[in-house]
Chain A
């Protein structure tokens, strides 16, 4: 703990004793216990929801609505999933997909950030392409694929192209609204402190816009992941197994069990990455005394 005592005036005459800084009120042990119960209270609702979903799924299967080779039960899918997890080819497919996701998302982040900052800072650019960015954001990325395939052929570049187009507008919009919402009082203070040009941007505007930028990054990830899955279904590259290719493969062989297992994997990856973003966002917000983002 730092020394939180405010030293009394050392001057000759007596002066008011200034109020003391807040002292940490709790021991680390109670905090640990609180952390545990907080974690539990955050954990049980999704667990219950998953159980309810599995039970409902089982009930639908038991009702005989569809034959089991079209709609297998949770047990069969679970076993298939376990089998996949032990299969190196499955991990190869996950690896291919994740590498594409990371590369595409990284390029989209660079493009979206530069574009967003430029649009936020230059009025002409905003007038020219500001609404276009929002327009692009609403365009379903799958609509880009026919063009991307014509442009690049059936290869990685076509997929990358669509991921960037899908994710960059969200990231740009995040940073634009972050910059727009920087409180004027921060800018006034920055002016008084002598921040101009690049130092104003780097020291004040970008840090102030960070929470909104992170929200944009998170949304951008969701768009990137969707575009990637669409791309892997449409742009099938020979000898390059990926999650999307696996889906196609199971559909062609009418293997519903395998299909659903892969879908669960895709969902779980999406949820995990989203959870990572939430953690980063909330730690940034808590440090600033802002409330956490609730889903």
Chain B
């Protein structure tokens, strides 16, 4: 298996290097090509920071991150669609910025909206859509970049449970169809067990990788599969154990 993302000995200080807060402490991690990797941890454990570093939104204080030149897309908890553009316009902007010629864009937009099951929403404005639809447009926009790596920072955290289940199905389907490498950040053990091929558990103070769990379950999965629930319970125990270690010092 090829490595899509190689993270080696990465540390991140906020503020002055050495004197500031240590947000990430010596994190090393390889993400395989086509892997759906979940990063689980409570808030403040540096999981979003790690994602920002991979995306190039921030630079690491130490260590290196290598994505082998693969294009990187990213989704956030908020869809971050541009409100002055329609649904089509938002996707078109991504196409245009990745150099797709004007003549090909309309067909690509149709195709991408079909992929996220939003055909016919072209002319809608972001504020006219529900939270789940906005996230689907954001997903279409990320796919428009032809990204090989998709970073997802708690993208479904603000959605209701029913919509979230549907988004999990879509994420699973699209990642398989396109062979995407996904890093999915969440604080929800159930979500991590539902989605991940592998789950990295992070612990705070300073942010580091505490343990990892392979979730070797057949796909497509469902949130209420017994096996998913078992994996979730195992992740829960891991989180609790790290919590105890933290309090013991």
Contact = CB atoms under 8 A, between A and B. Distances in A.
B83 A13 contact: no
Nearest to A200: B97
15 contacts: A2-B122, A3-B119, A7-B119, A11-B173, A188-B57, A188-B76, A192-B55, A192-B74, A193-B93, A193-B141, A194-B145, A287-B125, A288-B125, A289-B127, A289-B128
Between B72, B120, B125, B128, the greatest number of chain A beta carbons within 10 A of the residue's beta carbon is seen for B120
Interface string B141-163: 11001000000000000000011
Interface in B98-157: 98, 114, 117-130, 132-133, 141-142, 145
Given A192-B72, A208-B82, A15 B97 contact: no
A263 to B, nearest CB: 40
Interface in A251-295: 284, 287-290
Given A6-B117, A18-B132, A207 B82 contact: yes
A16 interface: yes
Contacts of A3: 119-120
B57 A21 contact: no
B179 interface: no
A199 B98 CA distance: 12
Contacts of B118: 6
B130 A19 contact: yes
Contact of B56 (A191, A204, A284): A191
A35 B123 CA distance: 23
A193 B220 contact: no
Nearest to B87: A21
Given A6-B119, A18-B117, A188-B57, A207 B128 contact: no
Given A19-B163, A194-B98, A288-B84, 12 more contacts: A7-B114, A16-B162, A16-B166, A21-B121, A21-B128, A189-B74, A189-B76, A191-B57, A192-B55, A193-B93, A195-B97, A199-B97
A235 to B, nearest CB: 41
A4 interface: yes
Nearest to A22: B128
Interface of B: 55-57, 72-74, 76, 78, 80, 82-85, 93-94, 96-98, 114, 117-130, 132-133, 141-142, 145, 162-163, 165-166, 169, 173, 220
Q: Which 9 A-B pairs have the closest CB atoms?
A: A289-B127, A288-B83, A16-B166, A3-B120, A189-B80, A192-B74, A207-B84, A194-B97, A185-B80
B217 to A, nearest CB: 16
A185 B78 contact: yes
B124 A289 contact: no
B80 A4 contact: no
Contacts of A287: 83-84, 125
A185 B76 contact: yes
